[in-house]
Structure 1
Amino acid sequence: MSSFIEAEEFIRLSSHIPIVDVRSPIEFAKGHITKAINIPLFSDEQRVVVGIKYKQEGQQAAIITGLELIGSSFADKCKEALKIAKNKELLIHCWKGGLRSESMAWLFETIGIKTYILKGGYKSYKSYIRKSWETPFKVIVLGGYTGSGKTEILHALQRKNQQIIDLEKLAHHKGSAFGALGQEEQPTNEQFENDLYDVWSLTNHHQYLWLEDESQSIGRVRLPDLFFETMNNAPLIRIQLSHEIRIHRLVNEYACFNKEQLSLVINKISKKIGSLLAKNMIETLYKEDFAIVASLLLEYYDNTYEYSISKRKNKQFQCVTLPNDNADGNALLMMESIKNIG
């Protein structure tokens, strides 16, 4: 017989028991528990049909219609479940922990799979993780101008057993106007929050977590308010790298993209940098004077960063001048610098 369990226990068990999300594919695509596998009770079209039947004729008629629609697919759903189950166990949820999850749990139980149903469904999971952001956690923010190699240093810190979360990797976006170039499609905001919770929940909240300085919006996704507030109040280590090295880094990173893509992005920020400068930059781009374009862009982004720094709640920061572009060596400097932070 299936057991109903609370969100906290459901998440704890998910470390070793697979999750099956029985909602429709369109619901799953909007946002789902990280690592969950979709075995929908109804297809998107079937869900619409059953919903209409429920509104017009009530629950009993809707259930009969549902059984007529999916009865022939029970065997396939069971085969999928058997492939996924570990030690003949599965975690199951729908939207609110109602008939859909109970029906699939019953089906899987008949073939010998022990099932645990999320009480309150996916809705309760979302409430749980949003409440979780209230949990205090220690953060160090790694800041600095565009082209300073912050992301590389972040990963070098991870190699040295420091806790990090690469927010840009989760967001599939590097944060700037050029941030979508070369990236996968961004997740929905709901999925981004779920994925962020998944990695954050595995960190030790009593030890420092390194995060790269970001705006609350990273492309189309947005950091949860309480998470961003913690970042905004956290100590900031501001790295400084020579202008020449930063230009070299930007050229290496972006000159590989075609000029049409790059000019489109420049046009998008033309209102901020001025149409005349944008026109000049595009002309320079097509002449392949990439270093000049990078230098002009850095002037714009440096001013933007200074403005964002002025808006931080925690006005104190520690400046660290980097001698070169060696990420591993610079990570050691970061680790040394936090010894002065209480």
Structure 2
Amino acid sequence: MTQAISIEAYFDLNIPLIDVRTPLEYAQGHVPGAYNLPIFSNEERVQVGTTYKQQSREAAILLGFDLAGPKWSGFIKEALVLAPEKRIVVHCWRGGMRSGAMAWALGLYGFEVYTIAGGYKSYRRWALAQFEKPWKLNVLGGLTGSGKTKILYALQNMDEQIIDLEDLAQHQGSAFGTMNKLKQPTQEQFENNFAWALQKQEPAHTIWVEDESLTIGRRVIPNAFWKNMRNTNLIKLQVSDEVRVSTLVEEYGKLDPEFLIDCTTRVRKRLGPQQTDHAIAAINEGRMADFIRLLLVYYDKTYQRGVQKRSPEKIFPVACQGSIASMAQHLKTFAGTLPV
């Protein structure tokens, strides 16, 4: 049995989704959680497309069957591993021949098959529409080293809704943001993952997010959502410099010194030649606290410029001290007193 369903209906099914597009298409952007079971390789898709343009639709279909013919047994075996109960969802780029062919083969074998009407394009339309919604937000701000991310997850442990933008972007939003290990998704996949995270939230309740610039590394926050962030209340953490330095020494002290030097060199113009030289010397000599103090001059100026672009009446400073859990509890209570 084969049935076409909307992307919204897929969310309620809780069964495996297979994406039959090429590995290259899948890598560029895919529905979170989808498995890639490509009918054509990257090169084969080019061959089929060229045949379609230069010869005819019929010639392209015949070539497609020639290329995919020996693979069908393998496709069915892989689908059985993914969906042993033989219930599965299939999609391609726009719900065309590739998903139709896979659905036909699996249905013939006895699978209960659903296809996404409009294919991956329908997910992209749905994803981009999520950012236009008037989400209720609490934006958690504060200078670098204030512990915003830890507080965010402490709030989640108190049943508050959160979106961790830096985790979605796989970047911590600074010159050192990759932490020498993170690899950013494509912009398309960042948006896909972001929208997927949003659809798990309850629209009637507030979502906590960290204050970010428009870009996180090389990824860009969708404009409508970012404007929402900029126009809502900013709860600005006030944490002592000693605590901030201690937090960042613990975090950055684990990183490769060569990575730190390379990142520091890249912000030389903004940090200043003398400050940069002193910072690199501190890294080489293992004086991490001195390095962090020099770095905070750059970080703090950058953050303050961003805060100055906000409406002063929507900035609410909060002095924070004590454990992360106690700060989170205080912020949760404080947020409840703010004007909507």
Q: Same fold (TM over 0.5)?
A: yes
* 3-state SS, counterpart of residue 208 of structure 2: strand
Q: Deviation at 1:60? A: 1.0
Distance 1:307 1:160 in 2: 32
* Residue of structure 2 in register with 1:263 after alignment: 261
**Contact map agreement 1:157 1:331 (CA 8 A) in 2:** yes
| SS of equivalent to 1:20 | strand
Q: How far did residue 137 of structure 1 move?
A: 1.5
Identify unmatched segments of 5+ residues in structure 1.
Answer: none
Q: What is the TM-score when the length of structure 2 is the normalising length?
A: 0.96
**CA 1:95–1:135 in 2, change beyond 3 Å: closer, same or farther?**
same
Give the corresponding residue for 2:334.
337
C-alpha separation in 2, matches of 1:108 and 1:312: 55
Aligned residue in 2 for 1:65: 63
Contact 1:259/1:285 (8 A) holds in 2? yes
Task: String of CA shifts for 1:284-306, please: whole Å, max 9, x gaps.
Answer: 22122211111111122111111
Tell whether the 8 Å contact from 1:18 to 1:36 is kept in structure 2 after alignment.
yes
User: What corresponds to 1:2 in structure 2?
Assistant: 2
Report if the CA contact (8 A) 2:127-2:196 is conserved.
Answer: no
Aligned 8 A contact 1:143 1:213 in 2:
yes
Q: Distance in 1 between matches of 2:312 and 2:73?
A: 58
Note if contact 2:136-2:203 (Cα within 8 Å) is conserved in structure 1: yes
* Equivalent AA in structure 2 for residue 208 of structure 1: T
Q: What do residues 8-54 of structure 1 show as CA deviations (whole Å, max 9, x unaligned)?
A: 223333xx121110100000000100000011111111111111211
- The residue type equivalent to 1:335 in the other structure is K
Q: Which amino acid aligns with 1:336?
A: T
- The one of 166, 169, 177 aligned to 2:167: 169
C-alpha deviations, 1:39-82, integer Å up to 9, x for none? 11111111111112112211111111111111111000001111
Residue 180 of structure 1 is matched in structure 2 by 178
Q: Which amino acid aligns with 1:300?
A: Y
Answer whether contact 2:232 2:314 (CA < 8 A) is retained: no
For the pair 1:283 / 2:281, whether they are aligned, the reply is yes
Match of 1:241 in 2: 239
Partner of 1:301: 299
CA distance in 1, matches of 2:268, 2:241: 23
Q: 2:202 aligns with which of 195, 201, 204?
A: 204
Stretches (4+) displaced over 6 A: none
Contact 2:180–2:259 (8 Å) recurs in 1: no
Question: How far apart, CA to CA, are the structure 1 residues paired with 2:19 and 2:312?
Answer: 41
For residue 193 of structure 1, what is the aligned residue in structure 2? 191
**Structure 2 CA distance for aligned equivalents of residues 272 and 85 of structure 1:** 54
* TM-aligned CA deviation for residue 86 of structure 1: 6.0
- Does structure 2 conserve the Cα–Cα contact (< 8 Å) formed by 1:139 and 1:208? yes
| Structure 1 contact 146–302 (Cα < 8 Å) conserved | yes
SS in 2 for 1:329: helix
Q: Distance in 2 between matches of 1:229 and 1:340?
A: 23
Q: What is the aligned partner in structure 1 of residue 46 from structure 2? A: 48
Aligned-partner Cα distance in 2 for 1:302–1:119: 49
Root mean square deviation of aligned Cα:
1.4
TM-score w.r.t. length of structure 1? 0.96
Runs of 5+ consecutive residues of structure 2 not aligned to the other structure: none
Aligned equivalents of 2:37 and 2:284: distance in 1? 50
